[in-house]
Amino acid sequence: MQIGNTFMVKPNRVAASVFFLLAIIIAGCADGQNSDAVQPIVYSHYTHVEEGGAECLDCHQYAETQSAASIPNIKVCIDCHDEAISESEDEATLLMYISENKKIPWRQVYSVPDYVFFSHRRHVKLGQMECAVCHGDVGSLAVPVAEQYERITMEWCMDCHETSNVSNDCYACHR
Ligand code: HEC
Ligand code: HEC
Ligand code: HEC
Ligand code: HEC
Ligand code: HEC
């Protein structure tokens, strides 16, 4: 009710700037911590990495060659899940996505805003860094990744660059 009244009595410009502010606040929340993301399938890194012996790069196939490591989808899963290999309901959900040839709508937990340049290749391949430095011990997680292990802030990036003697020139990260 109150919101409706505000729009009635104030000029359009005020309403517009309220929307603009809201958009920034919403965008700010969205590109920061996407904490407690709920995933469409209860995926267990533990089953695949610790028990199954899969390597991070088997699924996150571009971590050494591109900016984005990539979150695997049905094309990768189907290698082992072309039919049921367990009693799991979550596997049944996966098989449904596969049979309908639909993408699993994973929610990305780690992200930087568009105006920041980050490259996995640079850190993983050239910098020889372990995934765990930035993502923690993902292989031991029996539930999906729900929040950032190291919160991504400008300070976090710059602190490590400073101790590693890497450029903290604004244009290195803001191109
Ligand atoms: C290299 C083979 C392999 C690949 C690739 C693979 N899985 Fe699995 N997955 C397994 C094995 C092995 C099990 C355990 C089956 C059992 O219970 O004996 C499993 C079990 C599961 C389960 C059942 C719950 C559990 O943790 O036991 C789910 C859900 C699942 N996988 C999802 C996925 C998804 C999603 C992908 C693609 C992103 C994927 N898997 C890719 C081998 C694989
Ligand atoms: C120096 C820190 C750092 C290291 C090392 C690192 N990551 Fe990341 N990772 C990030 C950041 C920052 C983001 C968000 C990037 C973005 O939004 O473009 C991210 C995002 C991701 C994502 C989701 C978005 C995407 O890129 O597809 C996956 C999956 C991922 N990392 C996996 C890995 C794996 C696997 C390794 C090791 C092979 C690894 N990361 C090593 C910092 C790191
Ligand atoms: C069998 C495939 C598979 C393997 C092997 C695997 N992952 Fe994943 N990873 C996934 C799937 C599927 C997701 C999305 C569901 C989730 O968030 O748990 C994911 C999500 C992630 C994310 C969160 C990405 C984001 O921003 O939402 C990180 C970080 C990550 N994995 C790191 C690793 C690391 C490090 C390893 C090796 C220790 C590894 N993964 C091995 C399939 C795999
Ligand atoms: C834990 C340490 C660490 C963290 C955290 C980290 N970096 Fe780096 N970064 C490095 C290292 C080491 C290199 C140099 C890699 C090499 O040998 O080329 C590097 C290189 C870079 C470069 C290339 C620099 C140049 O001179 O062109 C960019 C850009 C970059 N990082 C962006 C980021 C951003 C953005 C973040 C945060 C989202 C981040 N980094 C977080 C360690 C880190
Ligand atoms: C090593 C990478 C890196 C360097 C160097 C860097 N930034 Fe950033 N910057 C980031 C990241 C990552 C974010 C996004 C932080 C977030 O989403 O909370 C960011 C965000 C910002 C923002 C948005 C507002 C804010 O504070 O969140 C501004 C403005 C900014 N940087 C200016 C600069 C200037 C000016 C410099 C040079 C003195 C600089 N940055 C150097 C990584 C870097």
pLDDT tens digits for range 17-63: 333 333 323 344 444 444 577 999 999 999 999 999 999 999 999 99
- Find tokens 């990744």 and name the residue: 145
Q: How far is the CA of 79 from the centre of ligand 5 (A)?
A: 40
In angstroms, rounded to a whole number, what is the distance separating the alpha carbons of residues 125 and 64?
5
**129 Cα–ligand 4 center, Å:** 10
- 16 or 69: which leads in pLDDT: 69
Tokens of 87: 């009693």
Do residues 62 and 69 make contact, with C-beta atoms less than 8 angstroms apart? yes
Model pLDDT, residue 32: 42
CA-CA distance, 106 to 143, in Å (whole number)? 13
Structure tokens that stand for 80 in this block: 């082992």
Q: What is the mean pLDDT of the chain?
A: 86
Determine the distance separating the centroid of ligand 5 and the alpha carbon of 149, expressed in angstroms.
19
Token pair recorded at residue 72: 């695997």
Give mean pLDDT, residues 91-116: 98
pLDDT band at 4 (very low <50, low <70, confident <90, very high): very low
Instruction: Answer yes or no: is the C-beta of 133 below 6 A from any ligand 2 atom.
Output: yes
The answer to whether 153 and 169 are in contact (CB under 8 A) is no
Question: Residues lining ligand 3, CB < 6 A?
Answer: 39, 43, 45, 48-49, 54, 56, 58-60, 71-72, 106, 108-110, 131, 135, 138-139, 144-145
The share of the chain scoring above pLDDT 90, in percent, equals: 78
CA dist., res. 25 & res. 30, Å (int): 9
> Which residues' Cβ are closer than 6 Å to ligand 5?
31-32, 112-113, 116, 152-154, 157-158, 161, 168, 170, 172-174
pLDDT at 9: 38
Give residue 14's pLDDT: 39
